[in-house]
Amino acid sequence: MSIDYVCIDSHQPLNQVRSDLLRCEKSGREYPIVSGIPIIVDDPSLLLRSFHNSWKQMHSAVDTVRSDVEALLPEGPSSRLQRRISREISARRENLNAISKYMIPLERAQGDDAHISSRGSDFLFANGAAWSLERMLRYFAQDWTSSPDFASVSGLITSTIRSHAADRESIAILGAGACGTARAVVDMFDATCGVDLGLATLLLARGVLAGDDVVLNFEAIGWKPVRLQKLAPSERPVDLLVADANQLPFKTGSISVVVTQYLMDLMMDPVATALEIHRVLKSDGVWVNFSNPMRLHGEPLPYGELDIADIPPIFEPVGFDVVRCEETRFTLLNFAHLDPAGVGSFQKVHHTVMRKRTADRSTSPAPRTRRLSDDPSCWALVAHRVAARTVEIARVKTFSIPHDHNRIQIGVNGEFATTSSSDAEFFDALMSLIDGRRSLDDIYTALTRGTSQLPRRTFLEIMSSIHNNYGVVDFRKPAA
């Protein structure tokens, strides 16, 4: 059995018109399939480009390690440093060699688009969509090296399912990442779907799930090589899917169990995500959450973290009965079983179990997420900045020997990433125009004056991303 996907625009069935393409006949939307993994998101090409750029950056990091150190030490590193540098470079290259065969489908899917220059919208999608594969590699050590911490969590999730989920037809793991949890539950269900926004991560996870021999080197334990656990492939395969937790391509009322692992704290509007989970769950379906404490959309960052006692009054109006609600502690990225010095970080985690209630209608407020392209009247909306949320553009100059360095960073809510001057100029102009008086149409007209390089739909996707993924902008109807 497999889970049938639907279009995120029309919620109508998708037809596989080619081995690498799904199409919705009603909306006309097309979604690529990369090496058997569907990409069912608003702008698949933009997401593919961000994956490809991330993969290129992982390659370039290998080449820059030695040159960076040599620039700092023009007379050459000592033999001690030379050994450390050589080990890191060798480990990075070994990682690339181990991973490269899984990335071939990504490079083929990108094709000619690999040479398209960066657009202002690329920054938002690259930094707001999914973590890079390089950042995700350490989670493969957590999921696939017989980690006692992971075994404890996967045991908790499986026992919770046995206790509270009578229907075992289908399960969706949101934020599947390295897919250890998906493998832990696959034999319990007729169909299992691992959902994540990181295509590169899912491509590697598919190889591990297939029982491939994968050896990776991890910085947290001095770049030591570790062979990932090899399990016999299950008779029931794990389907992998690139999708957004707020726009799930599942039929309404079709999923038996949804698991969110280390995900809800990353969602800008947890209530909107809960409503989407409620939509796809069957009657009496179960939602199991294991995540850091969430924050509500629009609340100031220093004060918005939910206490465990906040969960029932917030999510019961969404349409759930809270079955279990507790705080626990998890040691994230604990490498102690691989190296005595490899201790991870202790984190407070909320473990909740909720059952979909269908006897009455949801009384929850409407979700604050907006897909502006769905609403033709959205151009009249007035955009305004959200209090206590920030966008910062920093031009940083570092004075060092032998060369000074200039870089540009964009920070959203305190999280910075290096970007290009064109992206910085774009967001400088965009955020300056969002003043609480101009409509979206006014902002678009001013932003594109003298140029036609920004399609109207792309502009709406950018504004939706700023609103949904970062929470720095909101909209209101114009004054009468």
Q: Which residue has tokens 């959450």?
A: 289
Is it the case that residue 176 has pLDDT exceeding 90?
A: yes
pLDDT at 389 over 80: no
Task: Report the chain's C-alpha Rg in angstroms.
Answer: 23
Residue 240 has pLDDT above 90, yes or no: yes
Q: Which amino acid is at 178?
A: A
- pLDDT over 70 for what percent of the chain? 89
**Above 60 in pLDDT, residue 475?**
yes
CA-based nearest residue to 291, from 354, 198, 228, 229: 354
Q: Which residue, 469, 13, 46, 460, is CA-closest to 249? A: 13
User: For residue range 411-469, what is the model confidence (pLDDT) as tens digits?
Assistant: 777 777 777 888 888 889 999 999 999 999 999 999 998 776 788 888 888 888 788 77
Mean pLDDT of 248-272: 93
With contact defined as beta carbons under 8 Å apart, do 123 and 153 qualify? no
Which comes out higher in pLDDT, residue 374 or 194? Answer: 194
Query: How many Cα neighbours within 13 Å face the side chain of 115?
Result: 2
Answer with the residue of higher pLDDT: 69 or 323. 323
CB atoms within 10 A of CB 438: 16
Q: What is the pTM of this model?
A: 0.86
- Tell me how far apart the terminal alpha carbons of the chain are, to the nearest angstrom: 54
| 59-63, 135-139, 147-151, 208-212: least confidently modelled range | 59-63
DSSP string, 2-29: -PPBB-TTT-PBPEEEETTEEE-TTT--
CA distance 276 to 211: 33
- pLDDT surpasses 60 at 356: yes
- pLDDT at residue 235 is higher than 60: yes
Please check the confidence at residue 376 and state whether its pLDDT lies above 90: no
The more confidently predicted of residues 116 and 87 is 87
Q: What is the pLDDT of residue 115?
A: 46
Mean pLDDT on 179-193: 97
pLDDT in tens, 291-314: 999 988 767 766 778 999 999 999
Q: What is the mean pLDDT of the chain?
A: 87
**Contact yes or no for 401/423 (Cβ under 8 A):** no
**Contact (CB, 8 A) for 297 and 271:** yes
Distance of CA 238 to the CA centre of its chain: 19
Q: What angle do CA 22, 371, 385 make, to 5 degrees?
A: 145
Residue 232 — pLDDT band, cuts 50, 70, 90? confident
Query: Which of 142-156, 351-365, 437-451 has the weakest average pLDDT?
Result: 351-365
For residue 116, the model assigns a pLDDT of: 47
pLDDT at 359: 59
Q: What is the DSSP code (8-state) at residue 250?
A: B
Q: What is the pLDDT of residue 426?
A: 86
Instruction: Tell me how far apart the alpha carbons of residues 466 and 474 are, in angstroms, rounded to a whole number.
Output: 9
pLDDT at 114: 47
